[in-house]
Each structure stands twice: as C-alpha cells, then as structure tokens.
Structure 1
C-alpha cells in the first residue's frame, strides 16, 4: 500500500521565545525566577533563544529588566542569544547591553502597526536600514519579523502582495533573515504554503522563518505546513506561553515540547531534548503561577506503550 511521504528537511532550527514572547503578557516575575527559567531552557539543547525585548518598560513592564537579563547570558556561550526591538533606540540599548543578534518587528498591517509601535508600516520599514547599519557595525545580525503576516485583529486578512513588499524592502535595506508571524493565530496550512511560497519566490536568497500562535488550535499544523514548504527555522515557546499585548485575542505560541514531539516523529532533527523541555515547562509553570496551555505538557509527555501482559477491561457500557 503506497504511503504518502512529503519531502521534509533533515533538520529544523528551533528558536525558543519563551523568555520574551512567552513572558511579555504575564505579570512581571522576579529576575531570579526569570533566570531560573532561562537556565532550564539552556539545558534543553536549543541553540537559539530570544531572551528579552528592549522596548518601553511602560508598554511591556514584564520585560523592564532586559539589560539585567542580557548581563548574564554569557554563562551560556554555546547559545545564540537575541532580543526583539521595535525602534532605533531599542536597538541601541540592546547593543549597549551586549546583545548582538536582534529581531526588529514590522507589522504588515498599518492598523496593527500603529497599535503596536505607534507608527505605520511604511515608517517602521523606513527604520530597517539604520538599525541594520548599527547591528552590522557591531558584528551582529538582524532578522525582520513581519507581524500580522496573515491576518490583522483590526483589518482582517493581510494582502499577500503587501507582505511580499514589506519583506522585499527589509531585505534591500539590510535584513539578514525574515520571519513571518501569525500574530493572532488565525492562519491555516494552505495559507501558510501560499505565503511562504510567494515570499521565497520574491526573495529566493534569504532565510525565511515562521512564528505561529495556537489561538485557534492550528499552530502545530501550520508549523508542519511551513516545514513542508521548505522553512527550516521555527519559533516556539516553552509550555505554549505567550501572546501579543497589542493584538486582542492573541494567545500563546506553539509549545516547544509539542513542536519537538512533532518533528522528532517526522524524522526531522532538532537537537532539542524533549524531556528537558518538559522540565523547563514545569519551571515556567511554577514561576508564573498558573497552568500552561500545552497539551503535551498536560498529558505528561510522549505516549507510554501499554504492557501487553496487562489485562484490558473490555466491558462495554451503553450510554
């Protein structure tokens, strides 16, 4: 019997975004607890971690300690630590704190861009060249994250051609990589295939990653669709934490442990230890003080095979 076997990449790089995206909508936690979570994440084998965000502490009080977090990241030199910024000033602060790899967010939706950073898409795009210059002068790298790449909470579906134009402009002005963000967790696999294909055809020489939220339960399916479309860089958050404070209804990211479980089961190498991710999720749950949304975490990890010698209750009860 023939078996459908799509061509998948041999390896996918996971960026853990729990310390930034995962915590940004939470009540602020003590620096010691945050570092405890970062230490647990560092032990999972993940090699890229978005540690914090250099944005206004008034807008995102949970990340007001960005410089303090950055000061200790040198304990784990094997990890490529990065930070998200939303302005030139944010980039300057991040670089001054010793972070060399930055993500700069541009919302493809004008309305969301104004709600998120107080300026329109065109004005945000206009800052890429200056930020790229600062980062490259510090021997760093700049990834542009295109938010609301599929849908906006205020304007509805984002036109594909608008996303392609934003990504192409970012690349022209110095971005080293692009990440497409499903900010409010509304997209589906077919739309993922279509947009990734369009962006890759317009900019074939640039790395395209993806960032999915699980708001409507399609996040992990969308991650697989992205991998099927050739994406080899995905974001995920331990325990499924996260959400955008400026996008109504946006809930958590896809859970790191669920993404590892999916990719391992598909024969795709991630270099991330699933048991240690579950251990990190337990730390996350304890320090934030509420249950995590991750289904895999709640289930207790991978399925345990039944003991064939154990009797099975075959009693059938009518309902």
Structure 2
C-alpha cells in the first residue's frame, strides 16, 4: 500500500488525537438500519486499527434517531470500561441513566450555538439548553464519568446564516464552566474556511480557553475539511473528530453532508510527520467492510485510492 512522503513541519504539533465518530455520527444518518453485529464489528475494527477514542452510539430516543435504537444492545457487547474510551452521546438525564446503567465511563452532550438549531435538535433555546445539561453534567461528574461537549453550527447555520464567533465562544465557555473537559467545535454544514477557523480559535484563546481544551469537528460539504484541519493544527489544536470512510451528516440539518474522513486526515497527518497511532491499512479495511454493509462506495478519497 502506498503511503505519503513525510516532510515534518516543526511548527506543527508533534502528535494529535483522533476522536473517531463514525459509529455514532456516521451511522445515525443512514436511511436504513445497520445490523448490530455489523456495528459492533465496525467499532472493534476501529479500535484494532489504533483509534484512541471511538464514539460508539447515542442513547437518544428511537423516535428521533431510529438508526440508533439498538444503542443498549451495542454497548452491552463492548468493553465500555476498558482502556480505549468508547463514549456515548446522551441528550438528557434519561440518556444518562441508561449510560450509567450500562457502565459507560465517557459521555458527550450536544449543544447548539444558534436558536433555530437548538429548537430543532433540542426542542429548547440557546439559553434553555444549559438548564437541560446542568444536571446531566453534574450527575455524570459525581459518578466519575468524563463529559465532553459538542457545539453545533459554529461556522454557519442553514436557517440563520453566518454565526457570530462571540456567540460560539459564549456557548462554549458556559459548557466548560458546567464541567465539560473538552469542547468540540462543529462546522455542522461545512461552510467554514481556514481563516475563519483561526479567528474562532483565537477568540476562544482571548476568552481564556486554550487550544488544548478544544477539538475540531469538520464536515466536507464544500471540500474544505482538510484545509480547515491544517489551519487548526497551525493554531495548536491537537484533537480532531473524524469519521471512518467519511460517513455521516446530521439528521436535523439536510445540508450537513459527510464528516471529515478519518483516512483522509490520517494521510495528511502522516505526510506532515505528525504522530497519530493509527494503522492506515487496517482503517481502510474497516471502512471498506462497512461500505459493503451499506451497499455503496466510501466517500473518502483515500479509501477509494487505496482499497
């Protein structure tokens, strides 16, 4: 298998963490139901490929995301208290109850930077969402469970248009103040560009939130995900969300197409001489197997080139 030439840029971080979201954020947007056996095998393949974190599923009500109605069965077959974190997304206290009952040690909550998306995704307002999250975060931390926070629509909103960076920073600061250990900044509809990324990271720094507390979650709707990831690297970001095979989108925003493909990110990082710990051939094999389950070719350029 071909690998990129390595040209180390000493101005960039020496190592990054890839937070794999394919089994949750990737599969939640599928039109059909993926069998439990296939989901579990996918997660196991991703862990075997060296992904240091693999988000397994979401304890959301099946009415809202029927593709993840089998979350309990999936989690029951995984080592959720093992050495590799297998977080689950929880939308509310009921979701947290299910996570705690299942022995989950890492959860994520999902906030919005805009009013319209908060209404559509959370049936709440931007202000009201914090009242929903506060007991979830408090109870999770009391139980010794780590909490990550996502913020959606950080670069643009399909209903509201451009999003003020100050609004994103305000929401993010409040989530960290609640007790989240990491904040994932989402370009949910893929409209961000490199300078916009640098501006937002800089605004967080000015508000007292260092790059070490941030992760970046890019979508590739306009082909900008890798360029944005490189811009974030230059700003000191060392955690990136990505989805094996480029799977995913958002069930509440039709313009949100596939996530940044993990393979494409790994190829770029490898070429830059940045350590990531992922076995690219094994990762490609995992994505090819899932593409076969889904009955279509992977949207990842690297998977298509190397498979």
Contact 2:14/2:273 (CA < 8 Å) preserved in 1? Answer: yes
Structure 1 distance, partners of 2:76, 2:12, is 38
* Distance in 2 between residues matched to 1:268 and 1:196, nearest whole Å: 20
Is the CA contact 2:121–2:252 (under 8 Å) kept in the aligned structure 1? yes
Question: How far off is 1:227 after superposition?
Answer: 1.3
1:9 maps to 13
Check conservation: 2:8, 2:273, Cα contact below 8 A: no
Asked if 1:123 corresponds to 2:128, the answer is: yes
Q: Specify the alignment match of 2:243 in structure 1.
A: 237
For the aligned residue pairs, the C-alpha RMSD in angstroms reads 1.7
Does 2:96 correspond to 1:91? yes
Residue 297 of structure 2 is aligned with which of 278, 291, 295? 291
Aligned positions of 1:130-209 closer than 5 A: 130-204=135-209, 207-209=213-215
* Distance in 2 (alpha carbons) for counterparts of 1:201 and 1:7: 21
SS at match of 1:172: helix
Q: Deviations over 1:224-273 (max 9, x none)?
A: 11111111111111100000010121111011111111011111100001
**CA offset at residue 39 of structure 1?**
1.7
Partners in 2 of 1:203 and 1:82 — Cα distance? 27
Cα deviation for residue 195 of structure 1 reads 0.4
Could you say which structure has the larger radius of gyration?
1
Q: Is the 8 A contact 1:56 1:64 kept in 2?
A: yes
**TM-score normalised according to structure 1 size:** 0.90
CA–CA distance in structure 2, aligned partners of residues 72 and 194 of structure 1: 42
Deviations for 1:104-150, whole angstroms, at most 9, x for unmatched residues? 01010110111112111111122332111111122111111111011
1:22–1:237 Cα contact (<8 Å) kept? yes
Q: How far 1:4 sits from its partner (Å)?
A: 11
Q: CA deviation at 1:5?
A: 4.7
The whole-number CA distance in structure 1 between the counterparts of 2:9 and 2:103 is 44
Aligned residue pairs, count? 299
Whole-Å separation in 2 of the counterparts to 1:133 and 1:76: 20
Aligned position for 2:3: none
Query: How far did residue 76 of structure 1 move?
Result: 8.4
Alpha-carbon shift at residue 78 of structure 1 (Å): 2.6
| Correspondence for 1:25 | 29
Which shifted more, 203-212 or 218-227? 203-212
Cα separation, 2, equivalents of 1:95 and 1:220 = 36
Q: Secondary structure of 1:156's partner?
A: coil
- Tell me the CA shift for residue 75 of structure 1: 7.8
> Partner of 2:120: helix, strand, or coil?
helix
Residues 55 and 137 of structure 1: CA distance in aligned 2, closer, same or farther (over 3 Å)? same
Q: Is the 8 A contact 2:80 2:103 kept in 1?
A: no
